[in-house]
Structure 1
Amino acid sequence: MLKITLDIIDFAKEQLLNDIIELENTKESSNLNYDRFKFKLAGLLSKYEVKRESSELFESDIEEKISVYLSAKKIEGLSHLTLKDYKLELRLFNNAINKKIREINSNDIRLYLSRFDKLKMSTIGKKLYVLKSFFSWLHSEEIITRNPTSKIKQPKTENLMGKSLTIEEIEMLRESCETLRQRAFIEVLYSTGSRLSEIQQLDIDDIDFQNMSTKVIGKGSKEREVYLSYKAMYHLKKYLDSRNDECDALFVTTRRPFRRMSNRAIEREINIIGKNAKLTKRLYPHLLRHTFATLTLNNGADITAIQALLGHASPDVTLRYTRITEARKREQFQKHFVQ
């Protein structure tokens, strides 16, 4: 009986929301002034019983559910970084919602997301994705009887091509490196197309110098093999030969005590290289991953091979990483079009 009542309330709220949007559209098309619009809105609201929700504090049980959810996802194999992002997003949601988990409805979700109107739609979409995953899991575990996110669609985002560097810009980076470690960074990140976190976790013993390859642990704790170019091997060996520490990590700090570099430290070093090269765009590790994908594709590599090298579950994700040049499109047209 309670479920039916809540469904009716949700339907009424949904209908009211649609009526207000329709009235707003009418206002713009008919050039209604403020007084006439207010009069029509009052007439619309007269069909509903509108009450202000109490601001009385409730003892939220969301935090407890978040902990259980994250534990379940950890067992399923989600990476540490993904779990960290999920935890942050869900705690932001918990701090904003003053309700029991069973009382949260779709309008609460919409109201929460509307607070981020200054963020890009892609960022809001990521927030909604986490909430959908959370509430879908709660519903599948029968912790809640209704999934408040089921009726909310992912926002449409612009289909922007992934940014990448040109071959000339890669050469500019190489020439601007001031240390052996900087050059090794550029060559290894570009050659393997790996994520920053994947390279940061590598040890020297992980490098197969004979086969010029290494295995990295990607998202979902999935292992894959990536490859090092001759340039990458040459400059990595020069960097390793210059070290006199006993640290196992592939990339280490320059000051004692020598230890594995953090993700943030590597990002800073890459940013310095970009500034020295005087690039017109900001340099960050993931840009080299995009560049690897784009230049490899434009050089004739198969999209499925690039997908495997990047560790993507879907070729659709790989396509968002790449930018096919006009010359490459023309070449493919002339090669494959049937006259």
Structure 2
Amino acid sequence: MGREIYDIINDMAEVLNASQMQKLQEVLVKRLSENTVSDYLQTTNMDFLDMFLTAKHLEGCSDKTIRYYRCNIEKMLDTINIPVIKITTEMLRKYLVEYQTINNCGKVTIDNIRRSLSTFFSWLEEEDYIIKSPMKRIHKVKTGVIVKDTIPDEKIEILRDNCNNLRDRAMIDFLLSTGIRVGELVRLNIDDIDFSERECVVYGKGDKERKAYFDA
């Protein structure tokens, strides 16, 4: 957005509510564009998405996370199909409700999508492309806490018995002992393991480093 437009709306923030500010923003963009076509007006929704994903990549998000962001945000933009500057809270609420109904998905899935959209619109706000994120009034979806069952001893022995070599057996025992993720085990190197102290350095989501411990 042109700096002038942003400054005008920012000056009016104390006397206008959110919907009035959004309307003012739309009018300013429309009127000023009659004489001046800014870079902002030429930026498409996909351009904004690409810029957002580039920013997230620089922040250290994994390729899997980047793909997840792209999938969720692209679907929303294709469905609502208007410039991001005009997307409202009501439109996003309707989108999430209809998405849940059409895809018959659970609350956890919808809340994950909500978080992706919230991150995208918060970035647009931080970068001064929009005045206020329309996701701010869409709160976390309440979900029940699911306690996962532990693996019975019988199944653990079946896993061990079906290992064809010592390496596979070591991997199964290591996962059981440390509780680390399979993806974290794949990234593990011998140099990351201290056998004398029975600990290892694990690189988790977002390349966050932590220590995990294993038994004899």
Is the pair's TM-score, using the shorter chain for normalization, greater than 0.5? yes
Q: Secondary structure at the match of 2:100?
A: coil
Deviation of 1:5 after TM superposition, in Å, equals: 9.5
Alpha-carbon distance between aligned partners in 2 of 1:203 and 1:219, rounded to the nearest angstrom: 17
Which of 10, 19, 30 matches 1:7? 19
* 1:163 counterpart residue number: 149
* 2:95 counterpart residue number: 112
Question: Is residue 139 of structure 2 the alignment partner of residue 127 of structure 1?
Answer: no
* 1:75 counterpart residue number: 58
Alpha-carbon distance between aligned partners in 1 of 2:194 and 2:91, rounded to the nearest angstrom: 53
Deviation of 1:142 after TM superposition, in Å, equals: 1.7
Q: 1:163 to 1:61 in 2, by over 3 A?
A: farther
The superposition leaves residues 195-245 of structure 1 with CA deviations (integer Å, 9 ceiling, x where unpaired) of: 222111123343333333321211222111222332xxxxxxxxxxxxxxx
* 1:217 counterpart residue number: 203
Instruction: Single out whichever of 172-181 and 126-135 deviates more from structure 2.
Output: 172-181
Alpha-carbon distance between aligned partners in 1 of 2:68 and 2:200, rounded to the nearest angstrom: 27
Kindly report which structure 2 residues correspond to 1:104-253, keeping only aligned pairs within 5 A, or say none: 104-113=87-96, 114-117=98-101, 118-230=104-216
Question: Gaps spanning 5+ residues in structure 1: where?
Answer: 11-58, 231-339
- Give the count of matched residue pairs: 182
Question: Gaps spanning 5+ residues in structure 2: where?
Answer: 1-7, 23-41
* 2:77 counterpart residue number: 94
Q: Give % identity.
A: 33
Q: Secondary structure at the match of 1:115?
A: helix
Q: Which amino acid aligns with 1:204?
A: I
Q: Secondary structure at the match of 2:210?
A: strand
Alpha-carbon distance between aligned partners in 1 of 2:143 and 2:89, rounded to the nearest angstrom: 21
Q: Which amino acid aligns with 2:71?
A: L
Q: Larger Cα Rg: Structure 1 or Structure 2?
A: 1
Deviation of 1:62 after TM superposition, in Å, equals: 2.0
Q: 1:185 to 1:95 in 2, by over 3 A?
A: farther
The superposition leaves residues 10-56 of structure 1 with CA deviations (integer Å, 9 ceiling, x where unpaired) of: 9xxxxxxxxxxxxxxxxxxxxxxxxxxxxxxxxxxxxxxxxxxxxxx
Alpha-carbon distance between aligned partners in 1 of 2:213 and 2:108, rounded to the nearest angstrom: 32
Q: Which amino acid aligns with 1:108?
A: M
Q: Is the contact between residue 79 and residue 220 of structure 1 (CA under 8 Å) also seen in structure 2?
A: yes
Q: Which amino acid aligns with 1:216?
A: V
Q: Secondary structure at the match of 1:151?
A: coil
Deviation of 1:108 after TM superposition, in Å, equals: 1.8
Q: Is the contact between residue 18 and residue 132 of structure 2 (CA under 8 Å) also seen in structure 1?
A: no
Alpha-carbon distance between aligned partners in 2 of 1:124 and 1:147, rounded to the nearest angstrom: 18
Deviation of 1:103 after TM superposition, in Å, equals: 0.5
* 1:64 counterpart residue number: 47
Alpha-carbon distance between aligned partners in 1 of 2:121 and 2:63, rounded to the nearest angstrom: 21
Q: Secondary structure at the match of 1:116?
A: helix
Deviation of 1:101 after TM superposition, in Å, equals: 0.8
Q: Is the contact between residue 60 and residue 100 of structure 1 (CA under 8 Å) also seen in structure 2?
A: no
* 2:33 counterpart residue number: none
TM-score, normalised on structure 2?
0.71
Q: Which amino acid aligns with 1:153?
A: H
Deviation of 1:63 after TM superposition, in Å, equals: 1.6
Deviation of 1:168 after TM superposition, in Å, equals: 4.1
The superposition leaves residues 49-83 of structure 1 with CA deviations (integer Å, 9 ceiling, x where unpaired) of: xxxxxxxxxx9822212222223233333333323
Q: 1:223 to 1:112 in 2, by over 3 A?
A: same
Q: Secondary structure at the match of 2:77?
A: helix
Alpha-carbon distance between aligned partners in 2 of 1:61 and 1:177, rounded to the nearest angstrom: 53
Q: Is the contact between residue 60 and residue 101 of structure 1 (CA under 8 Å) also seen in structure 2?
A: no
Q: Which amino acid aligns with 2:145?
A: N
Q: Which amino acid aligns with 2:99?
A: R
